[in-house]
Structure 1
C-alpha cells in the first residue's frame, strides 16, 4: 500500500485509467476537460513568479567568476546537446525518410500561414527576446523576455548587495520562491485527478486511429528521443560517476507529469524540486540552470523541428541542399529558444519552417493531427534533459550532494540562510 502513495505511480495509474475511460465513453469525456484545464491553470499561475524568483535569486547570489562560469557551462551544454539533436534528426530523417509517400488531403488553416509570416525573420525573433513592458510579458507568460529581465535584475541586485551589504531584497525574493514551491506541492495533491480528466478528454476526442497515418514520423521522433536520452545518461554517468540505475526512480514523477501534460512549463516546478530533493543538485545550480533550460533546453523540440523539415521535404519530393539543411538546423535551434514567444505553438513553427525553407506545407496538417503524440516524447526529453544538464553543471563545481543522490540523506528544497553563507556569497557563490 505504501507504494501506491508514490506520486508518479498515482499519476501513471490515473493516466491509464483516463485513456481507457475516454476510449469507452467517447465524446462524453469532453465534459471532464474543464477539470483538467483547471489543474493546468493552477500550475501555470505559479510559473511566472517561480521562474522570475529562481533566476533573480540565482543570479543575485553569485559573485565574481562564478556568474560567468556557471552561465557559460550552462549555455555550452545546452547549445552542444541542441546541435547534437539537430544533426541526429537530419541523419534519422535521411535514413528512415518519414515523409516519403505521405499523403494528407485536409486543408491547412489559412491563419497559420499568416501567423508564420508574422514570425519570419531571425532579427525580429531575437528582438522579441527583450520586452518593452515586463508586465505585459508577465501577463502573456512570454518566458524568454521574462528570463532576460530577471537575469538583468539579478545582476543589478548582486551589484547592489556587493556595494551596500544589504541582502533584504534578495532574502525577500528567495522567500517568494519558497512560498510558490509550497503552492506547487499543495496543487500536486490533485495531479492524478487532473491527469485523468485531461487524457480522458483526449482519448475520447481523438482516439488512436490518427496515429496509424503517421507511424514513420512518430517512430522516427521516438527513436531520436531514445537515442538522445541514452546519450545524456552516458555523458552524465561518465562525468559524475553516479549510478545510472538510480535515475529512473528519481525522474519518474516529473516524467509522469511531462508525458501527461506535454508541457515543460507545467512540469518545471516538479523538476526544480526533484533536482534538489532527489538528485542532490544544489539549490543555487538548480535555480539558474533549470530556469534557463525552460526556454533553451528543449532538445526534444530541436529534434522534432528538424525531423519536420525532413518530413516536409520528402513529402513534397523536394531535394534539400546542404545550405538548406544547415539553415534548417539553425532555425530548429533558434526556434528552441524563441518558440514560446511565437503565438500558436507547433502549428505556427511547422508553417514557419516550411515557409523559410520554401517547402510544401500541405502535409503540415498531418503533423498537426498527431502533434499531441509527438509532444509526449518531446516533453519527456526536454524536462529530463534539463535535469541532466543541471547535474553536469553542478558536478563541475562539486555542487551535487552524493548522499542525497544515493538516498542516504533527505533534504528539502528550501530557502538558504543568507547570513550563514555570507562568506560564500562574498567569495564565489557559484549558482
Structure 2
C-alpha cells in the first residue's frame, strides 16, 4: 500500500535532513543554498498581486450598507486587537531575546543601510500613500498596495449596488483563486527549499541553530496563552459572559484551530458555535467571521512582530524606535489577505522581511518550525475573530442571553 505523506510532514522531514546534512558535511554543502533562494523568490513573486486581489475582493463584495457604521466598528475592533497582538510580539522579543546566541553574518552594505536608515515620522506617514499604484506594485510596497486596495474595494462596493460591476469582482476573485493555486504549487517545493536553506545555515553555525528555535516557540506559546486569557476576560466583562459559557463556547473552536492550524478550516465550526453556544446573532456572525478570516489576524501579527525582532537578534542588530514602529505597522498590514492562504505565515514573512532590509534566507530558520508556530497562530486568529464577533454583537444588542446561559 502506498503511503501518502502530507506537506507538513514533508517540510519537517526536509528541515531535519537539512540540519543533519549541514552538521555532517559542513562547508561542503553551503552551495545548496541556491535551491532555497529560488524557492523563496517563487513564493515572493505572487505575494503582492495576491494581497492586492484579496483585499479588494473582500471589501468589494460587501454591500455598502455593511461598510457604514457597523463596518467601521468592525474595522476598529480588528485594528485594536491586531495592534495589541503585534505590540505584544515586539515586547516579548525585546524582553526575552529569542534570537540571541546565534550569530549570522549580514552583508556590510545591508548593515549600513539598516542602521543608518533614519526616516522622520512625517516621511514615514507619507510613505503609506502611493503616488503611482503601478510603481508600488513593481517595488513590492505592501503598505501602499493595501491602502490602494482598501480604497478601491470601498469604491467598488459603493458602485456595485445594482451588480453592474460583478464581472470585475468575479474577475478579481478568480485571479485570487489562481494566485492561491500558484502558491500551493510552489509550496510543494518547500521541503527541498527549506531543507536546503537549513543545511546551509547549519553548515555555517552548527547545531546551535536549534536553541533559538526552541526559545522562539516557547515565547510565542506563552504570548498566545496570555493573549487568549486577555481576550476571554474582555468578553466576560464587556459581554457579561460567565467563565463556564466561555469555556463551553470555545472548546470546539480551540480544538479545531489547534489540530488543523487553519483559520479557513475552522470557520464553519467557528460560525456554528458563535451562534449556538455563544449567542451571536446569525447576521453578525455571517458578516464578522468571514471578513475576520480574510482581514484580521491576531496570531499572525504577534508571530510576525516576534519573528522580526528575533531575526534582527540573529544578525546582532539594535532596534531603533522607528524600526520598532515599522515592525509593528508591517506586522499589521502583512496580515491582510494572507491569513487564509496556505502557508500564510511563510507568505507573510516574505512580505515583511525584505521591507525591513533583512535577507530572505533568514526566513528559513523559522520556516522549519512553521507547523508548530501555526498551532499558536491559528488558535489566536480564530479566537480573535470570534471574540470580535461577540463584542460587536454585544454593542449592537445582537447577543442572545438565552443561548449563552447554557
Identify which range, 26-35 or 228-237, moves more after superposition.
Answer: 228-237
Residue 87 of structure 2 corresponds to which residue in structure 1? 83
Range with bigger deviation, 130-139 or 281-290 = 281-290
Q: Does 1:299 align with 2:302?
A: yes
Alignment length (residue pairs) = 336
Aligned to 2:356: 345
- Report the Cα offset of residue 19 of structure 1: 1.3
1: distance between equivalents of 2:370 and 2:324? 13
Which residue pairs with 1:227 in the alignment? 222
Tell me the SS of whatever aligns to 1:242: helix
Once residues 291 and 219 of structure 1 are traced to their aligned partners in structure 2, the CA distance between those partners, rounded to angstroms, is: 30
* Equivalent residues in 2 for 1:5-404, closer than 5 Å: 5-62=5-62, 63-64=64-65, 65=68, 66-88=70-92, 92=96, 109=108, 112-162=111-161, 165-209=164-208, 223-234=218-229, 238=246, 241-243=250-252, 244-251=254-261, 274-280=262-268, 289=292, 292=295, 297-303=300-306, 328=321, 332-338=324-330, 345=356, 384-385=376-377, 388-394=380-386, 396-397=388-389
C-alpha separation in 2, matches of 1:20 and 1:230: 33
TM-superposed deviation, 1:374: 7.2
5+ residue gaps, structure 2, are: 233-245, 272-285, 332-350, 391-406
TM-score (norm 2): 0.64
CA change 1:134–1:294 in 2 (3 A) is farther
Partner secondary structure for residue 118 of structure 1: coil
Q: Secondary structure at 1:129's aligned position in 2?
A: coil
Per-residue Cα deviation, 1:103-122 (whole angstroms, up to 9, x for no partner):
x9x99936634444334222
Please list the CA deviations of residues 19-72 of structure 1 after superposition, one character each: whole Å capped at 9, or x if unmatched.
112222222323322222222222222212211111001111123245323322
Q: Deviations over 1:3-32 (max 9, x none)?
A: 752221121111111211222222232332
Deviation at 1:169, TM superposition (A): 0.8
Higher mean alpha-carbon deviation, 278-287 vs 133-142, is at 278-287
Q: Give 1:148 shift.
A: 0.8
Q: Residue 82 of structure 1 aligns to a residue in which SS?
A: helix
User: C-alpha separation between the residues in 1 aligned to 2:289 and 2:73?
Assistant: 15
What is the CA–CA distance in structure 2 between the aligned matches of 1:311 and 1:332, rounded to whole Å? Answer: 16
CA contact (8 A) 1:85 1:303 kept: yes
* Aligned counterpart, 1:265: none
Distance 2:313 2:35 in 1: 38
Which runs of no fewer than 5 residues in structure 1 stay unpaired? 252-273, 317-324, 349-368, 399-431
Quick one: distance in 1 between partners of 2:183 and 2:353? 27
* Residues 195 and 372 of structure 1, relative CA distance in 2, 3 Å threshold: closer
TM-score by length of 1: 0.61
Q: Which range moves more in the overlay, 159-168 or 4-13?
A: 159-168
Distance 1:45 1:343, change over 3 A: closer
What CA RMSD, in Å, does the superposition of the two structures yield over aligned residues?
4.7
